Amino acid sequence: MNTLQPAKYPVKVKAIWYDETLRQICWINTLKLPHEEEVVCSNDPERVVKAIVDMEIRGAPAIGVAAALAIGAYALKIANTPLEAFIDEIKKSINKLWRTRPTAHNLFYALSRMNKTLDESLRSINDTYKLAEKLINEALSIYWEDVQANIKIGEYGAELIPDKATILTHCNAGALATSAYGTALAAIRIAWYNGKNIRVIATETRPVLQGARLTVYELMKEGIPVTLITDNMVGMVMRKKIVDLVIVGADRVTKDGYVVNKIGTYMIALAAKRNNIPFYVAAPTSTLDMDRTIDQVVIEERNPDEVKYVLGKLITVKDVSIVNYAFDITDPDLVSAIITEKGVVYPPFQLNLAKVLGT
């Protein structure tokens, strides 16, 4: 395992890291969780493309960081190739990673930084070994910035969690979706580390069950009390008054304040509004897309088999017609605040997000 770990809080679960000895990116294959903790390492960008498309690596910050580390590790691997071929290979790999998943902004944020690093370095450097060093250093900066963002989001978010609160979360916005502690789950972790007596309700998150498989696994490893519900129980637990607040992550937050997150988030936000429950979104600024309005965002549609099969078992009539949106859109007026590493942003989001980014 990577020895570089922040001392401030213990890391009990990790999704991705860079192995300095192997000079490879390593990840936990989240498809095998919670039953098997399979570690995969590679310096082949094609392998990382497959891992992102198949969702061995998933979660917005994690796929961005993984893509950057894949480029950095590959640059080191091919550093002995002639300059033209080196540049061509790196550009081709960036393009392939760019096309893996369309919705999470962090992927494009990280790959744009890698591309820029290459272009800017080429102005003064033509030694492929030095270029490779620049690329791996940029990838590691993206990784470490995400770790720091997790910590700050956790600290700001924890302040919004009262003692004895029950927090509902959706999907997995935890360590298994980021470089360290998560976003929504970082807030929960740090509230817990600070001694707050809290409980979590995790939705199972159909179709691929990130809540049941990943969030439950991650929280139980920490010893944080967690109760699993099916997605369609959200309204009932809110009506029963056993939810004090909701915290979810985000794949993209647009400049007009719309939140794109795992399918089902919108229904949770609507139910929260109706029941006067605060609905918080935790996201690093690498998730903020200040260039697009919501109608310009591509919402990923995935393989119909994810709906037809549960853990490999066909649960419906084989030829039924399927729609499988991976994400949905939550309107800004349903969001109480967005917790970023630069502070908690309250409405009006269009104005206050721009302020937080200094744009």
Q: Which is nearer to ligand MRU, 40 or 79 (CB)?
A: 40
Compute the half-sphere exposure of residue 102: CA atoms within 13 Å on the CB side of its CA: 10
Instruction: Please identify which residue in 15, 16, 25, 61 interacts with ligand MRU, judged by CB under 6 A.
Output: 61
Q: Which of 146, 231, 244, 251 is catalytic?
A: 251
Least distance (Å) between residue 128 CB and ligand MRU = 33
Tell me which residue of 163, 231, 233 sits closest to 199, measured CA to CA: 163
Listed ranges 19-27, 54-62, 89-97, 224-232: which one lies at the site for ligand MRU (CB under 6 A): 54-62
Q: Which is nearer to ligand MRU, 45 or 59 (CB)?
A: 59
Q: Considering the rule CB under 6 A, would residue 332 count as an interface residue with ligand MRU?
A: no
Tokens of 182: 């998560």
Orientation of helix 83-98 relative to helix 45-54, angle to 10°: 0
Site string for ligand MRU, 106-145 (x = CB under 6 A): ----------------------------------------
With CB atoms as reference, the residue minimizing the distance to ligand MRU is 249
Tokens of 262: 């795992």
- Give SS3 for 318: coil
Q: Considering the rule CB under 6 A, would residue 207 count as an interface residue with ligand MRU?
A: no
CA distance 226 to 188: 11
Q: Which is nearer to ligand MRU, 173 or 269 (CB)?
A: 173
**Total of residues contacting ligand MRU (CB under 6 A):** 18
Instruction: Please identify which residue in 326, 339, 345, 353 interacts with ligand MRU, judged by CB under 6 A.
Output: 326
Listed ranges 19-27, 65-73, 177-185, 223-231: which one lies at the site for ligand MRU (CB under 6 A): 177-185
Give the DSSP H/E element, type plus range, for residue 262. Answer: strand 259-262
Instruction: Please identify which residue in 93, 117, 183, 254 interacts with ligand MRU, judged by CB under 6 A.
Output: 183
Least distance (Å) between residue 22 CB and ligand MRU = 25
With contact defined as beta carbons under 8 Å apart, do 29 and 44 qualify? no
Specify the pairing of strand 252-254 against strand 259-262: antiparallel
Q: Which is nearer to ligand MRU, 157 or 182 (CB)?
A: 182
With contact defined as beta carbons under 8 Å apart, do 100 and 53 qualify? yes
Q: Considering the rule CB under 6 A, would residue 72 count as an interface residue with ligand MRU?
A: no
251 catalytically annotated: yes
Q: Considering the rule CB under 6 A, would residue 15 count as an interface residue with ligand MRU?
A: no
Q: Position 147: which residue type?
A: V
Instruction: Please identify which residue in 178, 215, 254, 330 interacts with ligand MRU, judged by CB under 6 A.
Output: 178
Orientation of helix 105-122 relative to helix 83-98, angle to 10°: 170
CA distance 299 to 330: 13
Q: What's phi and psi for 254, nearest 5 deg?
A: -85, 165
List, in sequence order, the alpha helices (H) in 9-127. Answer: 45-54, 60-77, 83-98, 105-122
Q: Considering the rule CB under 6 A, would residue 213 count as an interface residue with ligand MRU?
A: no
Instruction: Please identify which residue in 56, 155, 251, 289 interacts with ligand MRU, judged by CB under 6 A.
Output: 251
With contact defined as beta carbons under 8 Å apart, do 187 and 153 qualify? yes
Among positive and negative, which fits the CA dihedral 291, 249, 103, 300?
Answer: negative
Chain positions contacting ligand MRU, by CB under 6 A: 58-61, 104, 171, 173, 177-178, 182-183, 210, 249-251, 261-262, 326
Q: Annotated catalytic sites, by residue?
A: 251
